Structure 1
């Protein structure tokens, strides 16, 4: 359990050996450094791995006192043997640090903002490099910047849980400033922070913002944040594969762009889902795939729970001449449930049959 009030005790070594600390062995070869031997005997690293970690991260200590005190500090703060192993693998330099001066203030800061003990353990285990960031110059300013948009300590702490490198990444502040300068609404920035804060760690933000503006996206609209998410989340190879999946159903490159502008979430849908919906729409219903260009929101809906049950009702209405052949095929699928019942079921004399047809297909989901 994290304890920020009894930190003086952490200066001392527990008189009872920790279960994961093997007694340091002194009979290593003369060519093996003290630090390398410590990593081998206390963490089970191979000589090659231990040597690489020490040389790459400039690990320095001459006795067991410093690294043992570090491990006792983290153990007293709730870190398990496995978590310590993973943490030291990524940041062996921690064994040389003064945890009271370098680590404890950061724990205290996150605790003061409402982070739980497990939040902090999870954060540091996944990304111990956050402990190398300056509390005053990096962590606090980034935290306060994110909090300014989210207005919630819980949501701000979740940024750490969603992306352990978030508060140590200098790109976050510069990318947020760039978005503001390009007219991105505060609500959009808050949405990005809450749903996909990793997006704010991209190194190509300016290029992506300009590309989306050239495509006609308005930075002040909610769709801009979704489009930015899609552009960053979907790599170029996968993007091309999704475009090709749409083109297989008769769309052109321009059609894909229109669909993306209409509903940018459509490029976050899997290729399998694209093909399943298109196959049902074209081959089973016999409808035109081009109708989905400006109705790409349908691709986001559940095939079993939404599209199929409602399609059965719409097909019946078209067959019986109760709905005009040139009426929108998209509207019946995007309206809320109550409105769908009012517009396409209960207003007709055949309402009992239509409701049964709808519910039977709904229950098959």
Structure 2
């Protein structure tokens, strides 16, 4: 596996990360992890309406946020959630911290405040945590209160404290206890922290049972490989690549690379695809061939499909039904099969867009703005743009200019309006007018249509 993938690696990337290899070796030589269960199974949706009302009334949540939370936890009376909120307030948590805790970990409402949560908070205080340290750390990673056992809670708490203190002081303190079998996760996460993995991702891994961060020798081996491959530890792709490399045997990945080669994908392109979307190596050979054959049914030639895979490796995971439904959506909107094939070649991500997304944007641009379908076929990346942030505000400006007879042609090219940055658009269609009253008017039209 490794030799095949590294075949496509750029020399500059190898040089960029060579120094990291030294850091990795030193880190693993120094560090020595933890595991535990969560608060229990997800609660059903019974009492969902009451839950929404309670979250809105008691914590000031928006209805949308409350409805989202109610899909993960629900209750029919306020006795238990009231007890949890009262306990947190007694321990000095601010309303902002409480809102953050419940948003991140709503199942805390299902815990027994006196029998489960209070003993854990008292234990953490007994370890010397100040009130401000306790509230900051627990509100940062509330799932700590869902763990069982003083030793596990203590170790997780220490880890979070180390990371927070390190971020404040720009250095890390190696003060965690050593010698336990449960230290693998902590040791591995500290190594990840040293290499630049963000606090948010570290804390997410800390409270998960991800196998690829609970190992020792296997983790170290996989970690070194991913670093050498050139992945940036500060990005989430680094962890995805680590999970993939950890979870697959070398012979298995060699077989997958071979499967792509048989379909016309060069080994160097497999590496580029892995850099874009590491998860694609998890697809089975059967799935790879199935997607290849389905794209042929959509009008793509065999020699064109490898470039589609390279541009958008995540499309390999699309089901046959989804791909065929996608073409039916485009055909139903008036595109020809040849035009769909062109769209898929230029912007293969369109295969994964929902029918509603494709219909809404196409109908708006074609029916309301009067751009011809052929322009969308030539510029399909428009389907990936936000209606609220880009398409609508810019089109509102164009409609205003057209109504005033200020455009030379009836309608400018679609790409001229939507492919540029906001700054370029404003310079091209708003700020270029001499009329001092018109420019503020157009700016207001643009701002009204834009939703951040």
> TM-score scaled by structure 2?
0.48
What is the alpha-carbon distance in structure 1 between the residues aligned to residue 237 and residue 429 of structure 2? 45
Measured in 1, the distance between the counterparts of 2:417 and 2:338 equals 26
1:61-72 mapped onto 2 (5 Å cutoff): none
Q: Deviations over 1:113-143 (max 9, x none)?
A: 326999677547644544786x43x433322
Do the aligned residues in 1 keep the contact of 2:291 with 2:320 (CA within 8 Å)? no
Name the counterpart of 2:350: 266
2:363 paired residue number = 279
Whether the 8 Å contact between 1:175 and 1:200 is mirrored in structure 2 is: no
C-alpha distance in 2 between matches for 1:75 and 1:326: 63
Relative to structure 1, is the Cα distance of residues 210 and 139 closer, same or farther in structure 2, using a 3 angstrom cutoff? farther
* Equivalent residues, number: 272
5 Å matches for 1:157-196?
159=239, 167-170=246-249, 173-174=253-254, 182-184=267-269, 188-192=273-277
Q: 1:132 to 1:287 in 2, by over 3 A?
A: closer
- Tell me the residue number matched to 2:422: 337
2:286 aligned with 1:201: no
Aligned pair 1:236/2:320, yes or no? Answer: yes
2:295 corresponds to 1:214: no
Inter-partner Cα distance in structure 1 for 2:288 and 2:256? 11
Give the aligned partner of residue 78 of structure 1.
Answer: 156
Mind listing any 5+ residue stretches in structure 1 that lack a counterpart?
11-19, 21-69, 80-98
Q: Contact 1:345–1:351 (CA<8 Å) still a contact in 2? A: no
Q: Deviations over 1:213-232 (max 9, x none)?
A: 9362666xxx7554211332
Matching residue within 148, 152, 166 for 2:228 = 148
8 Å CA contact retained: 1:259, 1:296: yes
In 1, the alpha carbon distance for the partners of 2:30 and 2:226 equals 28
Q: C-alpha displacement at 1:188, in angstroms?
A: 4.7
Check 1:113–1:361 CA distance in 2 against 1; reply closer, same or farther (3 A cut). closer
Higher mean C-alpha displacement, 274-283 vs 118-127: 118-127
1:78 partner SS: helix
Q: Find the aligned partners of 2:345 and 2:427 in 1 and give their Cα distance.
A: 30
What is the match of residue 386 of structure 2? 302
Aligned Cα root-mean-square deviation (Å): 4.5
Counterpart-to-counterpart distance in 1, 2:427 and 2:203: 52
Alpha-carbon distance between aligned partners in 2 of 1:353 and 1:117, rounded to the nearest angstrom: 47
Is contact 1:143–1:156 with CA below 8 Å preserved after alignment? no
2: CA distance, partners of 1:310 / 1:334: 11
The TM-score, its normalising length taken from structure 1, stands at 0.57
Equivalent residue, structure 2, for 1:108: 187
* Counterpart-to-counterpart distance in 1, 2:31 and 2:388: 57
Give the C-alpha shift of residue 182 in structure 1: 2.5
Higher-RCO chain (CA-CA 8 Å, sequence separation at least 6): 2
1:288, 1:147 → 2: CA distance? 48
Give how far 1:300 is off.
1.5
Q: 1:323 aligns with which of 408, 415, 432?
A: 408
- Quick one: distance in 1 between partners of 2:384 and 2:188? 40
Asked if 1:363 is matched to 2:448, the reply is: yes
Q: Helix, strand or coil: the match of 2:413?
A: coil
- Native 8 Å contact 2:315 2:349 kept in 1: yes
3-state secondary structure, aligned to 1:250 = coil
Range 173-182 or range 311-320, more displaced? 173-182
Structure 1 contact 258–293 (Cα < 8 Å) conserved: yes
What displacement does 1:277 show? 1.0
Which string of whole-angstrom CA distances, capped at 9 and with x for unpartnered residues, describes residues 207-249 of structure 1? 3896789362666xxx7554211332x3332333332222221
Q: For the residues of structure 2 that align with 1:339 and 1:117, how far apart are their CA atoms?
A: 35
What does residue 89 of structure 1 align with?
Answer: none
